[in-house]
């Protein structure tokens, strides 16, 4: 159902400031915490003494102490000590490759020997002072692939987000889908239209008129396993649209990291990176609040969709041209999963 030999966003640094965090990722129960010298550690969330979740424990001086009987774990998965007990012979528990980068904690839930930090996607906006970012996290009870479908076909904005980013011109604009290596790109361009409420707010935030026609664009980039970056924006009409000078447009990147929890649930890390007025923290907060409300509308729809699909597993879903982005993304995922399964089933030489 999901590739494991890849990097997923597991959490954000604020979630492990002063205590361990337990999170299930791709079916694996993992505890995250700060080890020695503030380095992030990720271990199996299972105390080797009595099987208690280590995430219910505490962290002191970079060591994780089980909250049940005080067993102390090292970052490599080996037991360090336990009050009045000899524990040197205890077996190690599983350690997961983990990296802190770009304001996120990334984990590799698959075969540790295959983990390569160079495979974490480069996020140029996350390391540039010319960009600002604000985001959040939702737990969503649906198959992570339904969220991929949702983000690779923005037709739903007209109906699910009618009070914020939706408008009928989205339906009327043709969709283009293409492959770029192992990435899927879908795009829409809408010229000489009035901006919807969210984009009027953004125009005002950048000191631009919000009551004039604009050219609008949506360019969705999917990369495996489940990362989607969406170039979005509006420019005053007739000024070049997506390529317009920054003085007459507002443009951003909608950031979507989708991390499977189980076959019917996932963690959704959402946000928006923008390259106008990056120093304006009030604007960042306002955009974050508006975007959070938008994505909350998606959550209700997707969870209800999952319930329907579980109730009617025999039903075959229809595919239209607007679904091409999601279909191609699933093909890439299926290829990754098939390759992993084949490797697992290949006997050693």
Instruction: Encode pLDDT of 129-167 as tens digits.
Output: 999 999 999 999 999 999 999 999 999 999 999 899 999
Residue 345, pLDDT score: 76
What is the model's pLDDT at position 348?
64
Cα dist from 237 to 171, 201, 231, 257, 349, whole Å: 19, 17, 18, 32, 63
Instruction: Give percent of the chain with pLDDT exceeding 70.
Output: 98
Minimal CA–CA distance to 325: which of 164, 170, 152, 195? 152
Give Cα 81 to chain centroid, integer Å. Answer: 37
3-class DSSP state of 28: strand
**H helices present in 210-280, as ranges:** none
**Which distant-in-sequence residues (6+ apart) come within 8 Å of 100 by Cβ?**
13, 39, 40, 106
Q: From residue 211, give the alpha-carbon distance in Å to each of 188, 214, 327.
A: 22, 9, 37
Closest residue by Cα to residue 233 from 247, 214, 205: 214
Contact 105, 96 (CB under 8 A): no
* Ramachandran assignment for 151, one of left (phi > 0), alpha (psi -120 to 50 degrees), beta (any other): alpha
Q: 31-45, 74-88, 168-182, 254-268 — which is least confidently predicted? A: 74-88
Mean pLDDT, the chain, integer = 94
- Residue 15 pLDDT greater than 90, yes or no: yes
DSSP-H helix ranges across 2-160: 144-152, 157-160
Model confidence over 91-131: pLDDT tens digits?
Answer: 888 999 999 999 999 999 999 999 999 999 999 999 999 99
Q: What is the pLDDT of residues 248-275, one digit of tens each?
A: 999 999 999 999 999 999 999 999 999 9
Name the least confident of 184-193, 227-236, 262-271, 316-325: 316-325
- Residue 192: pLDDT over 70: yes
Residue-range domains of the chain with CATH: 8-118 (2.102.10.10), 127-337 (3.90.380.10)
Contact 174, 324 (CB under 8 A): no
* pTM, two decimal places: 0.94
Decide if pLDDT at 299 tops 70. yes
Question: Which of 137, 277, 130, 301 is CA-nearest to residue 201?
Answer: 277
Residue of 257, 225, 182 whose CA lies nearest to 333: 225
């Amino acid at each position: 159902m999901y590739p494991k030999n890849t990097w997923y966003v597991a959490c954000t640094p604020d979630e492990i400031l002063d205590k361990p965090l337990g999170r299930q990722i791709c079916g694996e129960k993992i505890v995250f915490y700060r080890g020695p010298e503030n380095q992030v550690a990720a271990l199996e969330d299972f105390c080797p003494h009595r099987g208690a979740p280590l995430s219910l424990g505490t962290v002191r001086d970079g060591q994780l102490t089980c909250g049940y009987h005080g067993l102390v774990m090292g970052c490599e998965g080996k037991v360090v000590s336990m009050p009045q007990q000899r524990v040197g012979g205890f077996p190690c528990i599983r350690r997961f490759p983990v990296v802190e980068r770009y304001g996120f904690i990334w984990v590799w839930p698959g075969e540790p020997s295959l983990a390569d930090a160079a495979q974490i996607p480069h996020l140029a906006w996350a390391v540039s002072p010319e960009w600002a970012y604000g985001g959040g996290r939702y737990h969503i009870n649906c198959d992570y692939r339904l969220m991929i479908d949702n983000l690779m076909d923005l037709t739903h904005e007209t109906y699910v987000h009618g009070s914020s980013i939706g408008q009928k011109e989205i339906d009327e604009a043709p969709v283009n889908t293409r492959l770029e290596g192992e990435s899927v790109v879908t795009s829409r361009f809408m010229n000489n239209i009035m901006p919807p409420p969210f984009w009027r707010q953004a125009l005002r935030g950048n000191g631009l008129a919000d009551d004039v026609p604009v050219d609008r664009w949506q360019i969705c980039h999917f990369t495996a396993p489940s990362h989607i970056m969406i170039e979005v924006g509006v420019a005053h009409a007739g000024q070049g649209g997506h390529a317009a000078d920054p003085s007459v447009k507002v443009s951003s990147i909608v950031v979507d990291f989708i991390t499977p929890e189980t076959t019917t649930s996932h963690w959704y890390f959402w946000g928006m990176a923008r390259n106008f007025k990056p120093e304006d923290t009030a604007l960042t907060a306002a955009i974050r609040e508006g975007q959070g409300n938008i994505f909350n509308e998606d959550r209700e729809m997707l969870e209800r969709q999952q319930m329907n699909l579980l109730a009617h597993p025999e039903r075959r879903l229809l595919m239209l041209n607007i679904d091409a982005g999601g279909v191609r993304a699933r093909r890439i995922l299926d290829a990754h999963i098939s390759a992993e399964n084949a490797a697992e089933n290949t006997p050693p030489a």
